[in-house]
Amino acid sequence: MKHMKRRPSLVLVRSRLILTVAIAQAAICWLPEISRAEDSSALIWRGFLTTGVSVSDSAQEYRGDINETPNFAKHSKFGLNLNSKISPSIDVAAQMVVDQEALHPDWAFASWYPINSFAIRTGKQKFPIWLMSDRLDVGKTYPWITPPEEVYGQNPIGAISGIGASYNLDLGAIEILSEFIFGAVKETIAGDQSVNGEKLVSKVTADDTIAVNLVVGNEYVKVRAGGASSRRVNSETSLYSLKNITASFWSYGLQVHYHGALVLSEYAVVSSKMDDSEVRKADQSAVDAAARAANSDDELVRMQAQQAMVNALVHNSSIMDGKSFYITGGYQAGDWLPHLTYARLITPDDSIAYGDQYSVTTGLKYDINLGTDLKIEWQRVTPEKGSFGLFVREGFNPTERFEPINIYSVAMDFVF
Amino acid sequence: MRAALKQLAGILVAVSWLTSPASAEILIVTNAKNPLATIALDDVRKIYLGKTRTFPDNMSAVPVDQDSSNHAYAEFLTKVIGKSEKEMKAYWSVRIFTGRGTPPSRLESDNDVINWLRKNPEGIGYINASAANESVKVLLRIP
């Protein structure tokens, strides 16, 4: 689950955080790598932990419950990774993640290598549809505290359950990696809308998802193109359901890491199309709800009518359509990595689901040791064209507007 | 006084030179029964980075690493892998936590590597040249 319905109390989150850090530190101290890795056929475990806090200078809630009250939950994650080589050509691996209140399987799959550079995988798999989307939970593997939400916040596909294959072609100076997966998606996501103080939690399912990824490059430069196409995407919430969406997600990425200089950039496109019969159903539902609301004093009935009308509008537009990009530049000077990011989200003019925004983020990552880093970050988020941006909205008030905000974050990442 | 300081500085430089670990030859070794006679540096690199799971003759290859405090480890990273310890940690963190591979197992010393290779026909390891004996086959010498 990407976000929870209710934010746990500050004291509870702090207690959990302290406990998690203590467990992680104990693991780091008591189980050095050498004792876990002597037998490659044994079950080997490793883990990661991120703990941090974000606060903004505004009461307006930004994505993931960030406002002027310090939020310890958004960046706190603990992951446990298990793997075993059960034969020279077969590996099994699984990862569990605790984020905020929930413990859930992140991924679990078996890999079979019939020949050296070709693998077939089956199970629940993370897939790099976006440049970092297969390791978003592992803060130690990227420079930011929060990867650009304009891009990564638009991809509802966390993992795909199915079968996939990868082929690695080594041409000497250049390597080509091609990956493919076919399967189904089942995710629970807290959206950016809230009703009566509660986030609308959406259960997203998608059958017939096909994803591909192509990476060309070497250890200094990598260029990639990745994407997924999903048919029969359904999104169910307590107030509405969207059915039979056909959606596609594409991105083109660049990664340069040369003599300390770091460039990360990505351009992503999300597009969707609704089934005609669902559009007609939504329109009729809006008419019926409006008729009920006209004869009722009940606030909930009026809200449902408003929602039904919004729903109809949503069905007649492209709910998830948008283009987004970011570019990050940084320089690794010893243990220090200062970086700067510009990110932007552009939605179609007729879309009411998301709004345009851009953000500028500057941060500093300091490697305390091989397995630990400390990050600080300042981000300024600016909604554009008088839109919602990625702010949390109360109800469906189309007149609500948001001002630019500043977000300050500090985090520590561990891998062990 | 100045002359004495110069003398002291000279002695300190000499002592630090004498006690600093010199660049030593390391050997890429395997089980004595492994039919392979030699191996290219690039093939060793690919095996240790998890980019291939076999020797060049397509026999399964299981690499073993040494503890990061060992001199041989530092030499191997510099001369074979071409990455720093930090870069290696970052490389394997991505592969581990995306389920795309795991780093080689680690042993504490040259002798542990030799003993492990005796029992593992598919094994490949590296040791300081001074530790070599007839129980393992040398595939490559790296001065």
The distance between the two most distant Cα atoms of chain B, rounded to a whole number of Å, is 68
A95-145 per-position pLDDT tens digit: 999 987 678 889 999 999 998 889 999 999 998 888 888 899 999 999 999
- Where chain B has pLDDT below 70, the residues are 1-23
Quick check: A415 contacting B, CB < 8 Å? yes
| Residue A6: predicted pLDDT | 38
Q: CA of B69: which chain A residue's CA is closest?
A: A34
| Residue A189: predicted pLDDT | 67
- Where chain A has pLDDT below 70, the residues are 1-41, 64, 101, 189-201, 237-242, 275-276, 278-279, 282-283, 286, 302, 305-320, 349-354, 393-401
Quick check: A85 contacting B, CB < 8 Å? yes
Choose among A239, A150, A188: nearest CA to A3: A188
Residue numbers of B between 60 and 99 with CB closer than 8 Å to A? 60, 62, 67, 85-86, 89-90, 93-94, 96-99
DSSP class per residue in A206-275: EEEEEEEEEEEE-SSEEEEEEEEEEEEEEEE-SS-EEEEEEEEEEEEEEEEEETTEEEEEEEEEEEEEE-
Quick check: B17 contacting A, CB < 8 Å? no
> How far apart are alpha carbons A193 and A177 in whole angstroms?
39
ipTM of the complex: 0.79
A224-273 per-position pLDDT tens digit: 999 998 887 777 766 666 677 788 889 999 999 999 999 999 999 988 77
Q: CB of A363 within 8 A of CB of A343?
A: no
Nearest C-alpha of chain B: how many angstroms from A325? 23
| DSSP H helix total and E strand total for chain B | 5, 5
Find chain B residues with C-beta within 8 A of A111's C-beta: 99
φ/ψ of residue B83, rounded to 5: -130, 155
φ/ψ of residue B5, rounded to 5: -60, -40
| Residue A270: predicted pLDDT | 87
| Residue A24: predicted pLDDT | 52
CB contact under 8 A, A81 and B51: no
Find chain B residues with C-beta within 8 A of A142's C-beta: none
Sheet arrangement for strand B105-107: B105-107, B62-66, B123-128, B26-31, B136-142
Quick check: B106 contacting A, CB < 8 Å? yes
Per 3-state DSSP, what percentage of chain B is helix, strand, and coil (rounded to 5)? 45, 20, 35
CB contact under 8 A, A95 and B99: yes
Nearest C-alpha of chain A: how many angstroms from B2? 36
| Residue B124: predicted pLDDT | 97
Using CB atoms, pick whichever of B85, B107, B122 lies closest to residue A38.
B107
Question: pTM of this prediction?
Answer: 0.81
Listed in order, strand segments (DSSP E) in A88-137 are: 90-99, 102-115, 118-125
CB contact under 8 A, B102 and A367: no
Q: CB of A171 within 8 A of CB of A189?
A: no
| Residue A284: predicted pLDDT | 74
> How far apart are alpha carbons A319 and A240 in whole angstroms?
13
